[in-house]
């Protein structure tokens, strides 16, 4: 907020701030955890279906990951060059998800 405010004050009336977006810079560890959970969930569901059919779950034939990332934008009021306080920035959220398709033999 203070950096945005400083830029607006330096530029005066010639500056307009619009559409500020904050994103995660390092998603690797989060995505690794999401992938591990997705694989575990897929296996648990496959085992439930196999058990209900009276079959045992065989080895994996294929796995197809589909990665999606959804950002929820942050919103705040337009900066005013005459304001003395820093621009308020409210925390937002970002959701990372992993979808997979796993095919097992029976």
pLDDT digit string, tens, across residues 25-67: 888 999 899 999 999 999 999 999 999 999 999 999 999 987 5
Residues 104 and 48 sit within 8 Å (Cβ to Cβ): no
Question: Is the CB of residue 79 less than 8 Å from the CB of residue 4?
Answer: yes
**Which alpha helices (DSSP H) does the chain contain, by range?**
2-11, 28-52
pLDDT at residue 72, rounded to an integer: 52
How confident is the model at residue 7, as a pLDDT? Answer: 80
Mean per-residue pLDDT of the chain: 80
**Whole-model pTM above 0.85?**
no
69 has a pLDDT exceeding 60: no
73 vs 8: CA distance, rounded Å: 21
Paired with 100 in beta bridges are 65
* Percentage with pLDDT > 90 across the chain: 39
Q: In the chain, what percentage of residues exceed pLDDT 70?
A: 81
CB 12 within 8 A of CB 81: yes
């Amino acid at each position: 907020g203070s950096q945005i405010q400083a830029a607006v004050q330096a530029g005066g009336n010639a500056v307009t701030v619009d559409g500020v977006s904050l994103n995660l810079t390092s998603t690797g560890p989060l995505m690794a955890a999401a992938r591990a959970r997705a694989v575990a969930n897929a296996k648990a569901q496959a085992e439930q279906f196999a058990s209900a059919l009276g079959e045992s779950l065989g080895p994996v034939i294929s796995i197809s990951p589909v990665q999606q990332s959804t950002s929820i934008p942050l919103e705040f009021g337009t900066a005013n060059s005459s304001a003395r306080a820093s621009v308020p920035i409210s925390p937002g959220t970002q959701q990372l998800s992993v979808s997979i398709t796993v095919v097992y033999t029976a």
